[in-house]
Amino acid sequence: MTGAVVTRTISHSLQEHYGGLSMKKVIIIGGGISGLATAWLLRDKSRTVGTELEITLLEKEERPGGKIRSIKADGYTCEWGPNGFLDSKPQTLDLCRALGVEKALHRSNDNARKRFIYSGGELHQLPDGAAAFLKSRLISWPGKLRLALEPTPFISPAPAGVDETLAAFGRRRLGNEALDKLIAPMVSGIFAGDPETMSLESCFPRIAELEREYGGLIRAMIMLAKKKKQDQAAGKVVSSAAGPGGVLTSFREGIQALSDTIATSLGAIVKSGAAVTEVAKAGSTPYRVTCSDGSTSEADLVIMAAPAFAAAEMLAAFDGGIAGILRQIPYASMTVICFGYGRGQIGRSLDGFGYLIPKKEGRNTLGTLWDSSMFENRAPEGKVLLRSMMGGACFPEYIALSDDEVVDRVRQDLALTMGIGAAPEFVRVFRHPQAIPQYTVGHGARLQALGGLLSAHPGLILTGNSYRGIGLNDCVAASRRAVDEALSFLEVQ
């Protein structure tokens, strides 16, 4: 049965159920976490406000979830894509609560608070506090003195009206050494990005805001430290200063439990194996969506939760201006490599989150996460699971390496960084040719231009991680905004 026939059958049944009343039709394109969350929240909120909608989610793959996928093999649980979300923001927690799965959440242990940087032939724990920073060998004394100048009036303010790169910001406020050993690894760890091209305002708007508000980062840290003490006194959970706020959170069976739960709840709303090729103007309703099998569906409203590059192809004939801007959002490739070892094969402590490697170290990998240290059930008893990342915006050519070459290069890095000489007993290699959107300089201007063009097409909404945040929390937050926009549009129809 084709997707079009299924859609018509469900539509007729719903119309009969509601006395033949004509309901507004909504099509959501893309079944990753953004599309799934949008569909679930839209259905839930529309029912709350008493609006009945005919919602259809079209996903080109046979399984929904997008890059969320937890692969179980030989007792290991390998995350194909993201490995969780931070509980310091409410978006995903609220969704889990509404889904009824909050009690099933599995938070990482305290090991995840310790993060390391590989530099100068050794792993350095990121310092937590001023005393630890002074003792740390990660930054040289000249580099520390340069950092100490950060709150002084000798540091120039942010250039007015300039979309500053992360690299320019780092050099201006913190110095070259801090850029190379702190900022650049952070950018590669989060975005797989190149700080020389990434926009501070788009990637880390909070940092730009802190500089504007307090005049410097150290001043901001002092004020925020006071708030942290107040939160601790109130019994709130706070993370170390070295890592991002919040506790890394997933499910015991892996983060795929979240997308599976949403897809199961949505039921027949989700149409897998439905690859959209075109969005166009329709006759009786504003939009017509065509799939690769030739089937078409009409909708009053279309929410595109596909990656920017995919959305561009679907909209190319509809609005070349929108498609052109979407094509300007680049994506970094990524290869994820999971290695399993016997615990006795690794001589060093694994008490930590893992480590990142600065580009200037000249290694093959961006870093390695100690997955089984964060979540104890990720490996069988007595075993260890390590997950390394390779590629990113700085090394796009690595996506073309053979599996043998990838494994060999990861082993070289692990031997150097962690002293692991043994061959792994478990290996999995996952490739993502277009893994993570890059918020390069000009990203904010592109979003503003997109908003102007979209205003000419009421009922066409873009959401997902291509625009205002790449993490799970960001995707859910964007889904909530898309739902509010959708309901606001439908109310005036």
The DSSP element (H or E) to which 276 belongs, if any, is strand 276-281
Q: 75 in the Ramachandran plot: left (φ > 0), alpha (ψ -120 to 50) or beta?
A: left
Give the model's pLDDT for residue 232: 66
Q: Do domains 3-66+266-329+440-491 and 84-111+331-437 have the same CATH topology?
A: no
How would you write the pLDDT of the chain (493 residues) with one tens digit per residue?
344 333 333 333 433 333 334 689 999 999 999 999 999 999 999 988 888 899 999 999 999 999 999 999 999 999 999 999 999 889 999 999 999 999 999 999 887 789 999 999 999 999 988 888 889 999 999 999 999 999 888 898 888 889 999 999 999 999 999 999 999 999 999 999 999 999 999 999 999 999 988 888 888 888 887 877 776 666 654 444 444 578 999 999 999 999 999 999 999 999 999 999 999 998 778 999 999 999 999 999 999 999 999 999 999 999 999 999 999 999 999 999 999 999 999 999 999 999 999 999 999 999 999 999 999 899 999 999 999 999 999 999 999 999 999 999 999 999 999 999 999 999 999 999 999 999 999 999 999 999 999 999 999 999 999 999 999 999 999 999 999 999 999 986 6
Give the 3-state secondary structure of 272-325: ECCCEEEEEECCCCCEEEEECCCCEEEECEEEECCCHHHHHHHHCCCCHHHHHH
Residue 74 one-letter amino acid: D
Strand partners, 375: none
What pTM does this model have?
A: 0.90
Whole-number Cα distances in Å, 119 to 207, 348, 371, 413: 25, 17, 21, 12
Strand partners, 299: 287
Name the token pair of 467: 């625009």
Q: In b/e form, how buried is each residue of 52-64, taking b as 16+ CB within 10 angstroms? A: ebbbbbbbbeeeb
SS3 462: strand
Give the model's pLDDT for residue 265: 97
Residue whose structure tokens are 């490995």: 83
Give the model's pLDDT for residue 69: 97
Strand partners, 76: 73
SS3 384: strand
Residue 181 · residue 168 · CB < 8 Å: no
Neighbours of 152 (CB within 10 A): 9
Query: Taking the alpha carbons of 224, 227, 232, 237 in that order, is the dihedral positive or negative?
Result: negative
Gap between the Cα atoms of 107 and 249, Å rounded: 4
Q: In b/e form, how buried is each residue of 393-409, taking b as 16+ CB within 10 angstroms? A: bbbbebbebeeeebbeb
Select the CATH number that applies to the domain covering 150-242 from these four: 1.10.1370.20, 1.10.10.10, 1.10.3110.10, 3.30.360.10: 1.10.3110.10
Gap between the Cα atoms of 228 and 225, Å rounded: 5
Of 96, 213, 195, nearest in space to 157 by CA? 213
* CATH 3.50.50.60 at 3-66+266-329+440-491, yes or no: yes
SS3 73: strand
* Domain assignments of the chain as residue spans, ordered by start: 3-66+266-329+440-491, 84-111+331-437, 150-242
Gap between the Cα atoms of 85 and 178, Å rounded: 27
Q: What is the CATH number of domain 84-111+331-437?
A: 3.90.660.20
Strand partners, 304: 29, 462
